[in-house]
Amino acid sequence: MRARPLTLIQDELVDYDKAMERMTDLVGQRQRDERPDTLWLLSHPSIYTVGRRTPVDHLPDPARGIPVMETGRGGQLTYHGPGQLVGYLIVKLGEEEGIVDYVREVELRLVEALGRLGLPAERRDTPPGSELLTGVWTSETRRKIISIGMRQSRGVTSHGFALNVDGDLEPWHWAIACGMPDVDMTSLRRELDGRADVSMDDVRPVVAAAFEAS
């Protein structure tokens, strides 16, 4: 992977709609070359977000009380909540670089970060005719730990990834994540299970370093 230093923004819990407003503003600034490539690390209160292809029967029961919001990213349903590290990537792509190329780079950088945190992980190629396997999966237990959904507009990326660190995994069971009924979503806390005590404060600098963000 080539060097691609990013400017880092860090926040704690940010409402999803407010984050989308700010991300749109950051993308506009990058399109006008008013700011450098940027990684924004944050978390959201509990919410499900859906891509444009998400079937209605994949949505949670409204009685669960967690809001559902449509978003402009690629991919299908995902869950955000406390204990999950979200990274929004506002990056100007090269002339010969497409969004699929950059998503693969994001996957590899996150695999590297998880390795530094003591968890072997991998990206997967999607077999023809299958649901997209975009994201990062644990090598040993074969569970999905990072969701990725991105788009580009006028050559600049937006949205990004969600890494489950130590949050509640139960809401993942109340809907169909990533278009895959059998997917087993996991977290660092679940996978490491006493082998290491990894907190959000431990994870943030490792993820930032993997993206060369400062």
Annotated catalytic residues are 178
Of 42, 39, 43, nearest in space to 80 by CA:
43
CA–CA separation, 127 and 106 (whole Å): 20
Strand residue runs (E) in the chain: 7-13, 38-43, 47-50, 68-70, 78-80, 84-90, 121-122, 136-138, 144-153, 156-164
How far, in Å, are 69, 171, 211, 212 from residue 8 at the CA level? Answer: 26, 29, 9, 9
Token pair belonging to 34:
């008013």
How far, in Å, are 41, 102, 124, 183, 212 from residue 179 at the CA level? Answer: 25, 22, 16, 9, 31
How many Cα atoms within 13 Å fall on the side-chain side of residue 69?
16
